[in-house]
């Protein structure tokens, strides 16, 4: 395949960025999107040009590092991560525009790489449980009902990629925050801090500069893990209850 790439190049956080055009040849339809970028970077390095900076780690759709906007849609609208997006999804001769996530709370570090540490700080505000030290508890010592266990598991699949923020016109991270809150709210281990958790994590979300949720639904449409809008409804229910409930009561 031969492709035309239009890629956001930005030397650093305070530099002015712009879209730069590249022609690339010899792309196999079996390559992943990141392997196509690897090939471009190999070509650029061979002619002593600066390779394109982009984040990646697992290349298996697990770590959430590799998010970029492809042709105006987070992850290219593929319902997967770009490391799992294959070049067979594009036509030979196509022009592909590649940009970083665009949100004030995700500042660009370089080219396509953004700083998503705001997510880490939301997790630090409450995305954990307290547990006594000592020997490991017996399996099934704390049984969880099947429905709640399934909902917890589904929400635990959020990989923190940030596509929900990139797709949201308000740059809201409410789907991410809701996934983390719902995961723990469904499990017996998450009950002791359930209501202080939701308050702290929503406050951290707002402090980081993410926008409010106005139920547009773009977040769920691009989420590679299928986190549903229902998780935001669950967060809202717990947030309202937290105004009248103290942890443990």
Least distance in Å: CB of 176 to ligand SF4?
A: 4
Q: Which is nearer to ligand FES, 159 or 187 (CB)?
A: 159
160 binds ligand FES (CB under 6 A): no
Kindly state the smallest distance separating residue 160's Cβ from ligand FES, in Å.
10
**Judged by CB under 6 A, which of 160, 190, 211, 228 binds ligand SF4?**
160
Instruction: Identify the H or E element spanning 24.
Output: strand 18-24
Quote the least distance from Cβ 30 to ligand FES, whole Å: 17
231 by DSSP, 3-state: which? helix
How far apart (Å, rounded) are the C-alpha atoms in residues 188 and 139?
Answer: 14
- Least Å distance, CB 224 to ligand SF4, is 6
Per CB under 6 A, the segment of 7-15, 83-91, 224-232, 240-248 that binds ligand SF4 is 224-232
**8 Å CB contact between 160 and 55:** no
CA nearest 160: which of 29, 64, 228?
Answer: 64
Residue whose structure tokens are 């730069």: 20
Measured from the CB atom, the residue of 3 and 235 that comes closer to ligand SF4 is 235
Question: How far, CA to CA in Å, does 164 sit from each of 82, 154, 167, 206, 232?
Answer: 14, 16, 5, 15, 12
What residues numbered 36-65 form the site for ligand FES, per CB under 6 A? 56-59, 61-65
Among ligand SF4, ligand FES, none, what binds residue 65 when CB lies within 5 to 8 Å by partner kind? ligand FES
Among 83, 103, 125, 164, binds ligand FES (CB under 6 A): 83
Integer Cα distance of 213 and 170 in angstroms: 7
- The interface region with ligand SF4, picked from 82-90, 136-144, 174-182, 186-194 by CB under 6 A, is 174-182
Distance CA 118, CA 129 (A): 20
37 binds, among ligand FES, ligand SF4, none (CB under 5 to 8 A by kind): none
Angle formed by the axes of helices 117-124 and 174-185, to 10°?
30
Q: How far is the CB of 35 from ligand FES (least distance, A)?
A: 11
Q: Give the shortest CB-197-to-ligand SF4 separation in angstroms.
A: 17
Nearest to 225 by CA among 67, 10, 17: 67
Beta-strand relationship, 3-9 and 95-99: parallel
- Residue identified by tokens 């281990």 is 189
Q: Which partner from the list ligand FES, ligand SF4, none does 68 bind, CB cut-off 5 to 8 Å by kind?
A: none
Residue number with CB closer to ligand SF4 (71 or 157): 157
């Amino acid at each position: 395949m031969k492709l035309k790439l239009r890629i956001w190049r930005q030397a650093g956080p305070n530099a002015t960025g712009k879209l730069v055009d590249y022609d690339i040849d010899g792309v196999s339809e079996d390559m992943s999107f990141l392997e196509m970028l690897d090939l471009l970077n190999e070509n650029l390095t061979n002619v002593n040009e600066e390779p394109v900076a982009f984040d990646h780690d697992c290349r298996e759709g697990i770590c959430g590092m590799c998010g970029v906007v492809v042709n105006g849609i987070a992850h290219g609208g593929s319902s997967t991560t770009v490391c799992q997006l294959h070049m067979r999804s594009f036509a030979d001769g196509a022009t592909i525009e590649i940009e970083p996530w665009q949100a004030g709370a995700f500042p660009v570090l370089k080219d396509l790489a953004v700083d998503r540490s705001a997510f880490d700080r939301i997790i630090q505000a409450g995305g954990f449980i307290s547990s006594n030290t000592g020997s490991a508890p017996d399996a099934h010592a704390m049984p969880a009902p099947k429905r709640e266990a399934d909902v917890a598991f589904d929400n635990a699949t959020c990989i923190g990629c940030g596509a929900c923020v990139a797709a949201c016109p308000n740059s809201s991270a409410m789907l991410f925050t809701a996934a983390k809150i719902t995961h723990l709210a469904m499990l017996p281990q998450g009950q002791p801090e359930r209501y202080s958790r939701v308050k702290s994590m929503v406050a951290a979300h707002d402090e980081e500069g993410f926008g409010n949720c106005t139920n547009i639904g773009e977040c769920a449409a691009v989420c590679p893990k299928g986190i549903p809008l229902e998780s935001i409804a669950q967060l809202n229910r717990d947030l309202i209850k937290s105004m009248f409930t103290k942890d443990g009561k």
